[in-house]
């Protein structure tokens, strides 16, 4: 009888592990949805900021006294600098998202493996408790 209670406790614990894994998975989905929302607004803000900075730089260069060839070179240099900065930020964001995704996936797989291992242990324990000597429960 005690073995059966232990087996039920293990099953309850496994169900709890699966529920936690599902909750974690739903939290990851919520985080991804929030990230998409933030990134869409952030992308708009970042685009406006970059365009504003570029327009300000171009206007500043246009009103500064210099030769036409020097002016074009300065505009090209500033534009390339802004593009490089923007590409760096985009790559950093992509790396961060990929890292978060791999961590979440790893955590879910670890929880799943642990739950499967415990389920296997419970099955083994139940089989051993019901097949041992003096455990014939038939009437």
- Per-residue model confidence as pLDDT tens digits over 39-96: 666 667 777 777 788 788 777 767 777 677 777 787 788 888 888 888 888 888 888 8
Cα–Cα distance for residue pair 99/94, rounded to 1 Å: 9
Specify the pTM. 0.41
**78-104: b (≥16 Cβ within 10 Å) or e:** beeeeeeeeeeeeeeeeeeeeeeeeeb
- Per-residue model confidence as pLDDT tens digits over 82-128: 888 888 888 888 888 888 888 888 888 888 888 888 888 888 888 87
Residues counted in the chain: 139
């Amino acid at each position: 009888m005690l073995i059966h209670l232990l087996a039920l406790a293990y099953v309850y614990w496994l169900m709890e592990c699966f529920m936690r894994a599902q909750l974690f998975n739903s939290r990851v989905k919520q985080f991804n949805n929030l990230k998409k929302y933030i990134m869409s607004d952030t992308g708009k803000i970042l685009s406006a900021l970059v365009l504003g900075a570029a327009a300000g730089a171009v206007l500043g260069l246009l009103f500064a006294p210099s030769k036409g060839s020097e002016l074009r070179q300065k505009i090209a240099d500033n534009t390339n600098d802004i593009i490089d900065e923007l590409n760096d930020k985009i790559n950093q964001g992509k790396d961060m998202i990929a890292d978060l995704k791999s961590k979440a996936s790893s955590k879910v797989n670890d929880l799943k493996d642990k739950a499967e291992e415990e389920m296997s242990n419970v099955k083994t324990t139940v089989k051993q408790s019901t097949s041992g000597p003096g455990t014939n429960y038939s009437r």
